[in-house]
Structure 1
Amino acid sequence: MTSQSAVVAALCEAIEPLPGEPFELASAHVGRVAPLATASERAVVIAAAVAHLVGLGPLEVHLADPHVDEVMVNGSGDVWVERHGMLHRAGAITSEELATSIERILAPLGRRLDRVSPIVDARLPDGSRVCAIVAPVAVDGTVLAIRRFRRRSLPLSAFAGPAGVAMIDELAGARCNVIVSGATSSGKTTLLSSVLSLLSIEERVVLVEDTAELAPDAGNVVRLEARASNADGVAAVPLDELVRTALRLRPDRLIVGEARGPEVVALVQALNTGHDGSWSTCHANSAHDALIRLESLILQAAPGWPLAAIRHHLYRSIDVVVHTRRDHDGRRRIAEIAEVTRDSIEPRVRPLLVEDQIVGVLDRRRA
């Protein structure tokens, strides 16, 4: 068969002006442009043509791969995918194809991406998370990252051995307030999704996220997503406002997808007012660093608060920090579980589990 790209281009040119469903049109006309192709080769050409006409072009095949967790496009046009925790180069995409793909992603969402608004974060209808950046902010050209949405949570055993699984189950049962910390792409949100599967369907769970990524199977769930303002005058709905709103929805457990801004103040205040068993995540290099980061976030959001009061609030509101890590082989796992304690000056952590070995007993329980 002639080169696949040439055949796909010829098929698209033949059917693009015609009325009807792209798949049906491609199936009817593929024999004319590729008369010697086998059935399997024709199926590949049809799929590529449909992706070009109504899908995301060359990216569609990666997004259809169940083993791909993230698809990334660099300014040079190189396409990279994360599969089983490891990055692999997966071909290239032209600037025209990339622009068309981004337009098809954003058009149904009413979002814009241009020199005036050069950065956009959005969510696809299937829950996948999209981040796109254009020049001049993206120096080498348009950059795109699509993080796939997992419809089914991974089991806790994917993150830890029996000891770690048992301790996470104990934290959920004891209704501890927990922060899941870790670096970017260390599995924080994925682990939190797995934890939510442990909760009783009788508990009312209110999820608050900047971009919706969590979709637990629990029955009594309310999901709230922040909204950015846009050029049409639509007002923003920030995460801290949603945290305060969530408290009026009678949550048995409050889940904040990520604490990274002013919402930390609302979160700490919520955890200090009887909302036990709540969970959130934050970026940090260790369990102890998670407390320091939360402390600095509160200082930025509420500079009038005395440092001693901030540290007291953190100690009273957070019981345990679960720290995640991504190993060199791509595996995401629980590296440490630590209980929050304090000395006369600042909150500290006391290790409970390190490298799946129990080294301490949980003292702070709320149930």
Structure 2
Amino acid sequence: MSSLGDRLKAANAVAKDPAPEPSLAQQVVADSPAAQVESASVVPAAAPPAPAGKRIAEPAQTSLTERRAAVSATGNRFGELKTAVHTELLKQLGPQLYDADVPAEELATKVRATLKDALAGQDRPLSAADRNQITKEITDDILGYGPIEPYLSDPEVTEVMVNGPDKVFVERKGRLTQVDAHFDDDNHLRRIIDKIVSRIGRRVDESSPMVDARLPDGSRVNAVVPPLAIDGSALTIRKFSADPFTVDDLITFGSLSRRTADFLDACVRGKLNIVVSGSTGAGKTTTLNVLSSFIPMDERIVTIEDAAELQLHQDHVVRLESRPPNIEGKGEISIRDLVKNSLRMRPDRIIVGEVRDASALDMLQAMNTGHDGSICTVHSNGPRDTLARIETMVLMAGMDLPVRAIREQVASAIDLIVHQTRLRDGSRKITHVTEVERMEGDLVTLQDIFVYDHSLGFDEDGVSLGRLRSTGLRPKFLEKMLHANVRVDPIVFARDGV
């Protein structure tokens, strides 16, 4: 056994010769998020031995928040590598990524080739699965819309909602579900929002924290950023199919019946003024697209929208889009300005995507001054409420008109209201096809021609069994349709029709 002096000398030698410093590569690996996660999960603190006769308590079940945090940490273990590759990609391609003259296919080929070279130049070993995952995520960021790109490409998804970087919801068949997708942080989400809105000359920042925009395929985009959005930027995308729904599609979905479709076809060809009403997400724009498809090919159509969404296939279409004010608060072109201007463009039809303000007065004036066959949409809860909303919007024009004069204008201008509702099962149905008749006293009289029958209730899966039925009443505007050489078969209004 060594003496006490020998043991003291050995201890002093160890104190003077500490462990060697780790290399730079070892420090990078040790400081990486993946190493920290692995260290925290693989090397737990040693638990003290349990006393004799005592049962060792089982560890508490991890909460949902903890599990999501672990998944997020695992999913971002290549964060530094992705950032390095992304930066290298931007250096090599530069302005080509934002050159509108470069075809999409050519740009995608260049991005993938450059990305392959950038990944090959990294020292970190990667499995084939990891390499494919990084390639897909960076490609989606550069060429698409990041983590939500797969859902925008999914034909079954009708709406994508991002409530901050960690919460993404989608709508499928009218039902909302949360999906396993997340952004790296709010800055990542903001980059995707900026990419969307900059393509159409819009902007979003702290001074202008709300924006309406559209994707190239016509999908509607709304974004709200801090300080208005408290929990991170919010992004809502309402998708529109590249191949818009036809009237046959709506009949297949049960949104309307064949007889109702034939009647609406005749009404559009007969140059009736039609208002499509309903709540948010009820399918008004889809119905407006279908009604617009009934317009004859030899007529000049002017469409007016906040964000261009309508997809008309006629040859003679002029599309107008409103413009918000610039950063100095100037340069705004409103829907009302565009409606006024459209009257000087020799339109046969004026189609307004949505009337929500004083433009209602100009729309009524257009309908009353020879521009028959105009169509627009209005947010409302029913046909009667539609007229009340139009009255209110006309008063917003500040013309100080008496209510009776406004109602006379409404009764004279509007011929038909097509009201659409989103039911409890998520389906979208046309529930009222209502004629606007005339003034009786101080009220505008309405007459339902087709009404959705709710009496059949719902099946065991909660799906509505109701149908759109004829009331048996014949509208009084049939004579006006005859002036346009359009006749309606009386069998359409038979009470047994569905």
TM-score (norm 2): 0.68
Q: Does 1:81 align with 2:193?
A: no
Pick one of 441, 446, 452 that aligns with 1:344: 441
Cross-structure match for 1:105? 196
Question: Does structure 1 retain, via aligned residues, the 8 Å contact 2:265–2:294?
Answer: yes
1:36–1:267 distance in 2 versus 1, CA, 3 Å: same
Judging by fraction of residues, say which structure has more strand. 1
Q: 1:198, 1:44 → 2: CA distance? A: 46
Moved more, 117-126 or 353-362: 117-126
Cross-structure match for 2:128? 37
Pick one of 49, 73, 85 that aligns with 1:14: 85
Question: Does structure 2 retain, via aligned residues, the 8 Å contact 1:227–1:237?
Answer: yes
Q: Does 1:197 align with 2:293?
A: yes
Three-state SS of the structure 1 residue aligned to 2:396 is helix
Q: 2:86, 2:201 → 1: CA distance? A: 28
Instruction: Provide, for residues 43-95 of structure 1, a one-character-per-residue CA deviation record: whole Å limited to 9, x for no partner.
Output: 55422221234532112222222222221111473111122322221233331
- What amino acid is aligned across from residue 105 of structure 1 in structure 2? I
Higher relative contact order by CA 8 Å / sep ≥ 6: 1 or 2? 1
User: What is the CA RMSD across the aligned residues, in angstroms?
Assistant: 2.3
Cross-structure match for 2:9? none
Cross-structure match for 2:281? 185
Q: Does 1:57 align with 2:146?
A: yes
Gaps of 5+ in 1: none
Cross-structure match for 1:334? 430
1:113–1:174 distance in 2 versus 1, CA, 3 Å: same
Cross-structure match for 1:133? 224
Distance apart, 1:331 and its partner CA: 1.6
Instruction: Provide, for residues 324-352 of structure 1, a one-character-per-residue CA deviation record: whole Å limited to 9, x for no partner.
Output: 01122222121110001232111121100
Q: 2:80, 2:386 → 1: CA distance? A: 51
Distance apart, 1:191 and its partner CA: 0.7
1:217-366 equivalences under 5 Å are 217-232=313-328, 234-341=330-437, 342-355=439-452, 356-359=468-471, 360-364=473-477, 365-366=480-481
- What amino acid is aligned across from residue 160 of structure 2 in structure 1? V
1:152-171 equivalences under 5 Å are 152-157=243-248, 158=250, 159-171=255-267
Q: 1:8, 1:182 → 2: CA distance? A: 45
Cross-structure match for 2:495? none
Q: 2:260, 2:169 → 1: CA distance? A: 32
Question: Does structure 1 retain, via aligned residues, the 8 Å contact 2:432–2:450?
Answer: yes
Distance apart, 1:244 and its partner CA: 1.1
Moved more, 6-15 or 105-114: 6-15
Distance apart, 1:113 and its partner CA: 2.0
Q: 2:142, 2:193 → 1: CA distance? A: 13
Moved more, 210-219 or 151-160: 151-160
Moved more, 5-14 or 108-117: 5-14
Gaps of 5+ in 2: 1-33, 35-73, 94-109, 453-467, 485-498
Q: 2:128, 2:424 → 1: CA distance? A: 42
* Runs of 4+ in structure 1 over 6 Å off: 31-34
Cross-structure match for 1:124? 215
Bigger radius of gyration among the two = 2
Aligned residue pairs total 364
Instruction: Provide, for residues 292-345 of structure 1, a one-character-per-residue CA deviation record: whole Å limited to 9, x for no partner.
Output: 110111122234111111000000000010000112222212111000123211
TM-score (norm 1): 0.91
Q: 2:113, 2:475 → 1: CA distance? A: 61
Distance apart, 1:167 and its partner CA: 2.0
Q: 2:400, 2:202 → 1: CA distance? A: 36
